[in-house]
Structure formats: structure tokens, C-alpha cells
Amino acid sequence: MYDVLIIGCGITGAATAFELSKYRLKVGVLERENDVALGTTKANSAILHAGYDPEPGTLMARLNVRGVELAQELCAKLDVPYRGCGSLVLAFSEEERPTLEELYRRGMENGVPGLALLTGDEARALEPNLSETVAAALYAPSAAICSPWEYCLALAETAVNNGVELRLNTAVTGLEQTSEGWTVRTSRGEFQARFVVNAAGVDAALVHDMAAPHAFDIKPSRGQYYLLDKSEGDRVGRVIFQCPSKVGKGVLVAPTVHGNLIVGPDAAPSEAHDTATTGDGLRFVRETAQRSVPSVNFRESIRNFAGVRANTAAGDFILEQSAPRFMDLAGICSPGLSAAPAIGEYAAELLEQAGLALEKKDGFVCERRRIRFKELTAEERAALVEKEPAFGRVICRCETVTEGEILEALHSPIPPCSVDGVKRRVNAGMGRCQGGFCGPRVVDILARELKLSPGDIVQDQAGSWLLDRQTKGGNRDV
């Protein structure tokens, strides 16, 4: 019997598991995919928003500001790439100036520190590559960028290190209320829990309907992006927004913590798991972004991708007890990444109010470190290679990722089982060639260490095989 079962291990589920791992509880996480962070968490803008956009008084407003405060300390403790770079919201005409003033008013009421309204010239003094048509800007110095999938992974790993049980490849198929709590039916058997937390992202309404009368709909919205090479990484030093609209915060231009430039997204209704990109959508992103920063060189694009946001009609996060001992953490669209650790705190409060006893445990460990070979000094590299020769074999040339780093990931609390799982942990395949050189070598390492046939190694989700599987050990034909 679990005290709490969390359904879903994106950033919301991971942050909730992290928070609950501080207490004397038996906690489990059920994730339908073969890894954490495989939904919206791995395909977003990687922005920790300052908190001026949400309507004052909403959960979004409160938890956004609190989450960003927590993120800086958490990323430092858990060794997650983080950069406090600030952001600018641009107005291109006097007609848009009232929007900036409204965002400023909201931000001040929400407690966002350091906000300032700038003229166009003042904005260009900060960011020389901004368009000459920029008339005014809102500056938010507390905005930041991070590695979203590693943020999620770090929270989940820390939870596991503190006793949380993570079950991957475990899809929830039904919920039944019992005298003690819930029976949770899954693709891998039944589990008993006193409390259930629904953090299922774009599928949150489906999970809710298993436990309570229908109350909300998820209206998925797909956003498409360009990821540009490091040669464009210094085009801007801050996150550059345009004035927001009803469909979202608009197309942004921003640096990434890995040294690239990210541009996007658009916003279009979609199916829950439709992450295809389109020519029209990418054309819109490109043309809209060039209003802000005309000099962006899109010929340096190394990847296009799309993510799906879990929008609802509520206009706020849905964080509530929807049935006895059943909590919804739903509608976690932007600023969900920013708010995540604060959502975890709030979820713990909801559970305590519903009767879960929260007793702090001794020995909670909130620390995580990993070796990034390319960031070491020459002396540190030499000493490491002498101690562990695998760190002397470079597998990914673009990102200078070594075999030693991949082996460490494969022996971590949540080891990868796919090529992209390795990519998310150590950056192999993240560079200009996008795995063209290192991909086959990563497959070989995975097959060797996992004792599988290369034909059984997947690119990412289950079933995304890379090789013809007709050989013995592959088990079946493609």
C-alpha cells in the first residue's frame, strides 16, 4: 500500500515526488513512457518566467513567482544548467505600450522584482540586435533559462534517491475507489494507494474522468520551434518576447543554457500527442521572430521540433481535490516549468489538508553532481582519464561528450534506455550534426551495457527502433 501514487513524471509529477520524498511516506510514480520528461517537459522554451504575465490572485501568479525563487537554489544543489539572464517584452508601436504597462502592473502586484519600463533605445542598449522598430520594452531581470528535461530528471532522481519508487512503462488504465483509498489499474498490474495525484499532462482529463465526474477538458496546443547552432548563440543575451496575445506569450528569441539559440513557438490546436512540424507553422515562427531580431540566421538551424501544451478553459492551473483522496494537478501550461517546485509544495499542502500526515524524515539528501568533461580544466581532465580511462574516449565530437559520462548515466538512479535518453542526460547528439557521428556509437554502448541486441535499442519512446530487427536477439521483424 502506497501512501501516495503520482500518475505522470513530467516536471509536475517529478516536482511533487521530490517534495513528498522529504517526508516519512511510501510514494510511487507511474509513468507510461520509458523515461521521465517525455511530454511537454522535453519540448518547450526552457524559460523560467519572471511572473508578470499571470493575472494577479491566480495560482499561476502565486506559484510562478515562488517557483522561480526556488529554481535558482534547486538548480544549484542538483547541478542543473541554469542561467539568470532576464527578459524583455517588446512593443513595436505606441498602440502596444498599454500592454507593457498592464504587464508591469501585474508584475508589481505579483511581487516580481526589478521590473522596469524601457524606451526602444534603452532596450537596444541592452540588446543591440533588436529591431529598430522596437518602441518600448518591459525588462524583467529575474527571468532565467534552464535545461528543462535535466531539471525534471534531477528532481526525479533526487526523489528516487530518497526512497520514491518510479515505475516506467506503466500506463494507468483505471481507478477504483476503496475503503482505504484507491486501486490503480495499470498495464503492469494493480497498485493500492491511500492518495492519488493526477499529474498526467495532456492526458490529465482522461485520468480525472477515471476517478470523478467530468469537470474539464484539455485543449492541446502545439508549438513549433527552431533550434539554431551555437554560431547563433550570442545573437541575444536575454529572452526576447513580443507582446502576448490570447493564444500565448508569442514567438520568442532566446539563448539556451547549452549555448544555442531557440526561436518559437507558434500556437495551434492539435491532438494530445501530435508533435509534427509543418512548413506553414515554421514559416510563421521565422517571419514573426525576425520582427524582434531581424539578423537571426535561420540557415544555422540544426533542429526543428514541436511540443504540446495542456491548455484548459480555466485560465488558471487546476490544483484541487476532485474526489476523496484524489488530487488533480492539471492544466499545467505556461508557466508550468517556472512554477513546478511551487506546485509540488502546493500539492503537499492539499494532501495534508485531505488527511495525509506529513512528518519530515531524517537524512533527506538534496544534492546531485555529474561530470561534464568539456567543462573541466586540462589538469582535471588528465587526472580523471588516468583514474577512469573511459573519460578519455570522446563519443560526441560536437559536444565533447565522453564514454565515461555515458557510462555514469547508465548507472544513475534513473538510467536511460534509448539514444535520446542518453542525449537528455549528457548532451551526446545535441550538437550541430545532431547525432550523425555519435549516434551509432551510442547504440553500441547501450547494447553492450544493457546486454541487448543493437536491434533492440530505440531512438526514444518504446517502438522507435533504429535498426532492422531480423537478427537473433532482435526477436521479431520490423
Q: Which amino acids are annotated catalytic?
A: 49
First to last CA, the chain: 40
Answer for the pair 341, 15: CB distance below 8 angstroms, yes or no. yes
By the 10 Å C-beta count (0-12 exposed, 13-18 middle, 19+ buried), 466 is classed as middle
Instruction: Specify the DSSP element, H or E, that contains 258.
Output: none
Q: Which residues pair with 27 in a beta bridge?
A: 4
Pairing relation of β-strands 182-186 and 252-255? unpaired
Radius of gyration in angstroms for the set of CA atoms belonging to the chain, rounded to a whole number: 22
Q: What angle do CA 162, 66, 149 make, to 5 degrees?
A: 55
Longest dimension (CA), the chain: 69
Kindly give, in sequence order, each residue whose CB lies less than 8 Å from that of residue 81, ignoring residues fewer than 6 positions away.
75, 146, 147, 150, 257, 258
Q: What angle do CA 232, 37, 141 make, to 5 degrees?
A: 50
DSSP string for residues in 101-157: HHHHHHHHHHT-TT-EEEEHHHHHHH-TTS-TT--EEEEETT-EEE-HHHHHHHHHH
All three cell numbers of 322, joined, read 476532485
What is the C-alpha to C-alpha distance for residues 476 and 280, in angstroms, rounded to an integer? 39
Say which amino acid occupies 204.
A
Kindly give, in sequence order, each residue whose CB lies less than 8 Å from that of residue 109, ignoring residues fewer than 6 positions away.
56
Query: What phi-psi label fits residue 165: left (phi over 0), alpha (psi between -120 and 50 degrees) or beta?
Result: beta
Q: Name the E strands within 165-290.
A: 165-167, 172-177, 182-186, 189-198, 219-228, 239-242, 252-255, 261-264, 268-269
What helix, strand, coil percent values describe the chain, rounded to 5?
Answer: 35, 25, 40
Answer for the pair 260, 227: CB distance below 8 angstroms, yes or no. yes
Answer for the pair 344, 19: CB distance below 8 angstroms, yes or no. yes
